[in-house]
Amino acid sequence: MPDSYRALEDYSGVPHATLRRRAKGGRSIEEKANDQQYLADWEEDAIERCNNRFHLSIY
């Protein structure tokens, strides 16, 4: 097993900055994005349904 973040990056393909941040307890991009979500899930679903209807109506 590699003994540095750079070597682990070469071995795994995951950027060394990501490995270092996660080792220090940092959150994943997905976890961070959930805290920054502006719309509720039901609002996103409603917008997606409207977009799908609009997309279907132009064809």
Query: How far apart are alpha carbons 27 and 29 in whole angstroms?
Result: 7
For residue 29, what is the enclosing H or E element?
helix 29-35
pLDDT digits over 2-58, tens only? Answer: 788 889 999 999 999 999 999 999 998 888 888 887 888 899 999 999 998 887 666
Neighbours of 8 (CB within 10 A): 17
First to last CA, the chain: 55
Cα 32–Cα 35–Cα 41 angle in degrees, nearest 5? 120
